[in-house]
Amino acid sequence: MGNLIPNEPLIYERTDDVVYARYRDQPDVPRWIVGGDPGAVARAKGHMLHYYEWQEMCSLAEENPTIRKLLDQLVTTYYIVKENK
């Protein structure tokens, strides 16, 4: 059962393709993410992209020279920032 409160009813809500749960009778406990569209869940957690979206972007870069150039610049910038950390 994990960290759930025993015998407390849950309410499930869907917002922007993200499914949240919250306790019906415990308003002091904030809602939490339980599922939904992977991209929407990633954005709800503050991530810019879901892993599959990143893979799709890399595949598109193989066909599109503009995206390829921008992605190369991004990767170069990433390694520069990572080295200086």
Domain limits, the chain = 1-47, 49-85
Task: Note the Cα 13 to chain centre separation in Å.
Answer: 17
Dist. CA 20–CA 23, nearest whole Å: 10
The pLDDT value given to residue 1: 57
- What would the mean pLDDT of 8-36 be, rounded to a whole number? 95
Query: 19 with 10: CB under 8 angstroms?
Result: no
How far, in Å, are 3, 20, 31, 53 from residue 13 at the CA level? 19, 5, 9, 25
pTM of the prediction?
0.68
- What would the mean pLDDT of 20-28 be, rounded to a whole number? 94
Dist. CA 18–CA 22, nearest whole Å: 13
Dist. CA 10–CA 26, nearest whole Å: 9
Tens of pLDDT along 46-74? 998 888 889 999 999 999 999 999 999 99
